[in-house]
Structure 1
Amino acid sequence: MATRFATLAEITGHFAETTPDRAAIRVDGAVWTYADLHERSVRCVAALRGLGVKPGDRVGWLALNHPDYITLMCACFRLGAVLVAINARLVAREIAYILGDAGIDVLVSETAFLPLVEDASAATGLAHVVLLDSTHDGRPAFAGWIAAHAPDDAMPAISPDDIALQLYTSGTTGFPKGALLSHRQLLGTIEKGGLTGEAWGQWREDDVALVAMPLFHIGGTGWALHALEAGATMVILPRPDVPGMVNAISEDGATRMFAVPAVLLAICQYLETVPANLGAMRALYYGASPIPLEVLRRSMLAFPNAEFVQCYGATETCGTVVYLPPADHDPAGNQRMRGCGKPYPGNEVKIIDGEGHSLPPGAVGEICIRSVSVMAGYHNKPEATAKAVVDGWYLTGDAGYLDEDGYLYIHDRVKDMIVSGAENIYPAEVENALHEHPAVADCAVIGVPDARWGEAVKAIVVKKADVSEQELIAFAKQRIAAYKVPKSVEFIEALPRNPSGKILKKDLREPYWAGHERRVG
């Protein structure tokens, strides 16, 4: 079943005309119909145009999940502008880098983030800040700002290949990269579930999607776009708050959700003391890190009517490209549950060696993906784009293998990236921060096993002056987002290196991953 839209810009107008009274968003007891959402979006178009925003311009978002993220996103689609959702866990200098790299002149944020915004804008010359929750020092509040403008329904010519979203990923060199995602690529991802022909992949108009994962990640925004394209209803929570999620299912009747395994475990633990009926949930998608079999068993009991679907993908692929369908889920466990699943219809996966040659089933190499969903590239980074996308294949940096049936299994990582609690962390970012400390002579950052988050960040440090583990952790907290900060520091005399001077991180990781079949979290 192909999507009915050529671009994302058409969605709110379509449903405002065909199903104007259907609920689009439920939040805090209020209901926005599709007519309401469309009107807010076209008023937002007028407000953005009033600030000089043109097709191709970047508009920023720095906030927790909020229904007006959908307003702003749909307005950007209709205006031909590009929405840049910034990770709300970053520190000021990381935010400043993204504001400058993307060239953002208009930012929607909230009062709690103003100190970060002001620090960052001092370095970038950010022209306009609109606040979600209140006015402050002459900065307008979003709702009043858009209400003051008459609806502007005019749209420029928008191509399916125009960029719709620019989402930043951690960078191998210490700087994040803005993945450019077009209308065609995002809609291509949305249609894949329907192409399976399986019931769980068919969205219904009466579906209620729980949007709790961060909208500044593709997991959150992509999930919201699935609901929007289906004309379904969204329940949007500021964060993956467990009581709120349970209430959204038991009271608001949420039928679909995406969550990371750590959140599923937290829900199961919560239900031990606060029982609730989660029978409304029909389809539960999970991913971003492996799920222990015991957590999956408990989750299947907690959500008795839900079909479970494991997801594997990346920001660079607009989200999920490989899935493990409900038919391959067994509470008793099976071989396929150790892997990620199979490619969606129309997607291709291959495994290559270090020279780019395809490998046979069972052989471990780098996982490569070819799909309509592969990004257009990295913003202003042609060299990084050329390394990441080769002849239409996205090189994931993950190491794995395919079985005889085409199912994918993760083994390790080719790149040094760490995944902790669904956040991607490149060691270079952490190492750059630690190297600023005068007592650090050399350092390497690795991921080590963590029962809750999959991996934890660990720093291996060679010091040239006396410094403690606590001092280095506190130092890092001032420079990088908290989720990137090392959870532990180990001091050694010298880092292992090969003859060309490259740090042998595999050797550093080995003692921590010994005995683990899978060498990543």
Structure 2
Amino acid sequence: MNGWNFASIWESVADAQPDRAALIHGNETITWNSFERRSNNLAHHLLKSGCTHQGAVAFYLYNDPVYLELFFACSKASLVHVNTNYRYGPDELVYLWQNADAEAVVFHGSFTTTVSEVRPRTSGVHTWIWVDDDTEPCPPWAIPYTDAVAGGPHERAVGDRGRSGDDLVLLYTGGTTGMPKGVMWRQDDLFVVTDAKNKVPLPVLPDFDANGLSPAAMARVEERAGPVSIPACPLMHGTGLFNALTTVSLGGAIVTMTNRKLDIAEIFSAVERHKVKSIFIVGDAFAKPMLEALDSQPDRWDISSLRVLISSGVMWSSSSKSGLMAHNPKLLCVDTYGSSEAIGIGSSVSSKDGSAKTASFSLSKKSAVITEDGRIVQPGSTEIGRVGVAGRVPLGYFKDPEKTAVTFPTIDGVRYSVPGDFATVEADGTITLLGRGSVCINTGGEKVFPEEVEEALKSHPAVSDAIVVGIPDDRFGQRVAAVVAGPNPPAEAELISFVKSQLAHYKAPRHVLAVPSLERAANGKVDYKHWTRFAERYLSQAPEN
């Protein structure tokens, strides 16, 4: 086999610890033996149904053991994972599945009505597998998931061309700057860049290679259980999926929640019950409700087993990190900086001995901040550039060579992934994130990065969430406006003054609007276009300050 392949790794782990838990969902526990067997049956079913080598399989699923069983099956059969945002409407689903050349779609019963609507418009899909979730019945044109995993040949499934580290995983981006783009990851690169083979406590090194486990390594797996983790954020996004893949590759167990809305009580109850070691979240959208629950009921749950909270995707305030660590002094808050296109750009680690500054990260050895003319930004120079990472990066965007060329440039002979975030490099080598250039506000020739102002607003004790947008201005081109959420938001003048006490005055919002909620998506991100239109409509008749 050429390079790392998740199926071969996971099969070896299943052989070494067949009776240990692999997947936990409510009162259901699936052992490694059952995990492998069910996934194997599913892989055989997909191949028999006509899925071709590197054919795309769409995962239209909530967090559930089915997600990882299907990923295992696709890896076995050399089929390609295609994540599907379950918040998408019919037109977005059609675009996604047509763009990905999907051959099969696996969907929860809750989506049956929507799938029925889009099915006539997705001519390439020949296999539909329905997953029972006690909602809508299985339609006649679909196959029940229980049938697909119930039986099959005993031999392990392999596609007609065999497995390879070159087999792809497609991860579609959220589309915040346009239609979703499919990021093409080789399995070998994805396994290495998520650092699974170097993480502790990996029970299988140093005899863990691309072909599986040596007898000595298998013996060590039998002696030592892997970590138990909760992906509190959706598996359909990179933060949840990538961290879950790492946990499973370590021989650990993934615990998924039965409540499809954020349920902090269920999460902490699962931590206590299953001695969970790590939780994957997306910034303050998850961290603040967790902290509020612990503050209001500090003795309700035993979270002493919890060692790591891992976040990626959006900014995570130092105040919520400090608050969470006060409830568990052994807890580490690991803020990883990356994206679907660029894993492992940088990180910050906060402990009881010190909390990292919000939006401040240490760069990895293969990362750099790059100016518009292709120079590497030097520490302490105050220059602004885009953050990029070299080494193991995606092949590019599926079917989009033009955007691939922009995001994956070659600089001085080195190929980088440069997703679009701007930053400065401090004198000590750490970077301070400023935000995406695509939402940068230009006011009177000065650049204002919304995320910097948002973090200043969210540091006010009465503001639970904030978004900053640019609205048209006849004199300055754009002016800064903010939309804030909180139970009792302060007056506009107070918040403007509060921001001015922290940042340059031109960065402070000229207007502040209060709403009950910013309606963040499941991945913690917010719709800048929606709130820009909202602010423009609301302020269209407002006089300038």
Please give the TM-score of this superposition, normalised by the length of structure 2.
0.73
Matched residue SS, 1:165: strand
Q: Does 1:356 align with 2:374?
A: yes
Per-residue deviation at 1:112?
1.3
Q: Is the 8 A contact 1:460 1:492 kept in 2?
A: no
Alpha-carbon shift at residue 289 of structure 1 (Å): 2.3
Question: 1:196, 1:371 → 2: CA distance?
Answer: 24
Give the drift of 1:253: 1.2
After superposition, the C-alpha distances for 1:377-398 in whole angstroms (9 at most, x for unaligned) are 0000001001000121111211
CA contact (8 A) 2:316 2:335 kept: no
| Contact 1:285–1:309 (8 Å) recurs in 2 | yes
1:350-379 alpha-carbon deviations (Å, 9 max, x no partner): 222221122211333223323444211000
Q: Which amino acid aligns with 2:530?
A: P
Structure 1 counterpart of 2:267, which letter? Answer: M
Give the drift of 1:196: 9.4
Please name the residue that 2:242 is paired with.
Answer: 222
Residues 212, 291 of structure 1: CA spacing in aligned structure 2 closer, same or farther, 3 A cutoff? closer
Q: Aligned-pair distance for 1:272?
A: 3.5
Which 5+ residue runs of structure 2 have no aligned equivalent?
207-220, 442-449, 474-518
CA deviation after TM superposition for structure 1 residue 171, in Å: 5.8
Match of 2:269 in 1: 247
Question: Deviation string for 1:86-110 (max 9, x for gaps)?
Answer: 0111111111110110111210111
Counterparts of 1:150 and 1:157, CA distance in 2 = 17
Which residue of structure 2 lines up, in the alignment, with residue 486 of structure 1? 530
Question: What is the alpha-carbon distance in structure 2 between the residues aligned to residue 224 and residue 81 of structure 1?
Answer: 19
CA contact (8 A) 1:60 1:86 kept: yes
Contact 1:64–1:239 (Cα < 8 Å) also in 2 = no
Q: Which residue identity does 1:322 align to in structure 2?
A: G
Superposed displacement of residue 307, structure 1: 1.7
The residue aligned with 1:69 is 67
Within a 5 Å distance, the mapping from 1:290-369 to structure 2 comes to 290-317=315-342, 319-326=343-350, 330=353, 336-344=356-364, 347-362=365-380, 363-369=382-388
Separation in 1, partners of 2:440, 2:97? 23
CA contact under 8 A between 1:212 and 1:241: conserved in structure 2? no
d(CA) in 1 for partners of 2:157, 2:367: 41
- Find 1:190's aligned residue among 180, 191, 194: 194
Per-residue deviation, 1:189: 2.2
- The residue type paired with residue 248 of structure 1 is A
2:117 aligned to which of 109, 116, 119: 119
> How many pairs align?
441
Change in Cα spacing, 1:68 to 1:278, as seen in structure 2 (3 Å) is same
Structure 2 partner of 1:48: 46
Q: Show the 5 A alignment for 1:35-114.
A: 35-114=33-112
- Preserved contact between residue 82 and residue 169 of structure 2 (Cα < 8 Å): no
Q: What code does the residue aligned with 1:225 have?
A: L
Tell me if structure 1 keeps the 8 A contact 2:196–2:246: no
Tell me the SS of whatever aligns to 1:160: coil
Q: Deviations over 1:170-227 (max 9, x none)?
A: 163x3211111111221112327837999xxx99734211122101101111111011
The match for 2:185 is: 181
The letter for the 2-side match of 1:393 is Y
Which of 168, 188, 210 matches 2:230?
210
Could you tell which deviates more after superposition, 382-391 or 134-143? 134-143
Contact 1:364 1:411 in 2 (8 A): no
What root-mean-square deviation, in Å, do the aligned CA atoms of Structure 1 and Structure 2 show?
3.4
What letter is aligned with 1:207? P
Distance 1:177 1:228, change over 3 A: same
Matched, 1:268 2:291: yes
Partner letter of residue 303 of structure 1?
Answer: N
Question: Which residue is 1:257 aligned to?
Answer: 279
Residue 457 of structure 1 and its aligned partner are, at CA, apart by: 7.7
For 1:366 and 1:257, locate their aligned partners in 2 and report how far apart those are by CA, in whole Å.
Answer: 32
Residue identity in the other structure for 1:383: E
In structure 1, how many angstroms separate the alpha carbons of the residues matched to 2:329 and 2:305? 9
Partner of 1:386: 405
- Note the 1:329-478 alignment, pairs <5 A: 330=353, 336-344=356-364, 347-362=365-380, 363-391=382-410, 392-416=415-439, 449=454, 451=458, 456=467, 460=471
C-alpha distance in 2 between matches for 1:53 and 1:118: 21
Q: Secondary structure of the residue that 2:255 maps to in structure 1?
A: strand
Q: Which letter does structure 2 place at the counterpart of 1:83? A: H
Q: Give the TM-score taking structure 1 as reference length.
A: 0.76
CA distance in 2, matches of 1:111, 1:417: 40
Which residue does 1:157 correspond to in 2? 162
Where 1:96 maps in the other structure, the secondary structure is helix
Match of 2:9 among 11, 30, 37: 11
Change over 3 Å in CA distance of 1:62–1:382 after alignment to 2: same
Whole-Å Cα distance in 1 between the matches of residues 190 and 467 of structure 2? 31
**Aligned residues of 1:167 and 1:216 also touching (Cα < 8 A):** no
Instruction: Give the secondary structure class of the aligned counterpart of 2:173.
Output: strand
- Structure 1 pair 239–205 and aligned structure 2 pair: CA distance change class (3 A): farther
SS at match of 1:411: strand
In structure 2, relative to structure 1, the CA distance for the partners of 1:226 and 1:340 (3 Å cut) is: farther
Q: State the 4+ residue runs in structure 1 displaced beyond 6 angstroms.
A: 195-198
**Whole-angstrom distance in 2 between the partners of 1:166 and 1:453:** 31
- Tell me, what secondary structure is at the counterpart of 1:210? strand
Structure 1 unmatched runs, 5+? 419-445, 463-476, 495-510, 513-521
With over 3 angstroms needed to count, the CA separation of the structure-2 counterparts of 1:196 and 1:30, relative to structure 1, is closer
SS at 1:116's partner residue?
helix
Residue deviations 1:270-317 (CA, integer Å, cap 9, x gap): 223443221110122123222233212211112332122111000012
Counterparts in 2 of 1:194 and 1:141: CA distance versus 1, 3 Å: same
Determine the C-alpha separation between the residues in 1 that align with 2:25 and 2:318.
Answer: 34
Output aligned runs, 1:506-517, within 5 Å.
Answer: none
- Structure 1 residue 326: Cα displacement: 4.1
Q: Look up the equivalent residue of 1:315 and give its one-letter code.
A: S
Alignment CA distance shift 1:92-1:461 (3 Å): farther
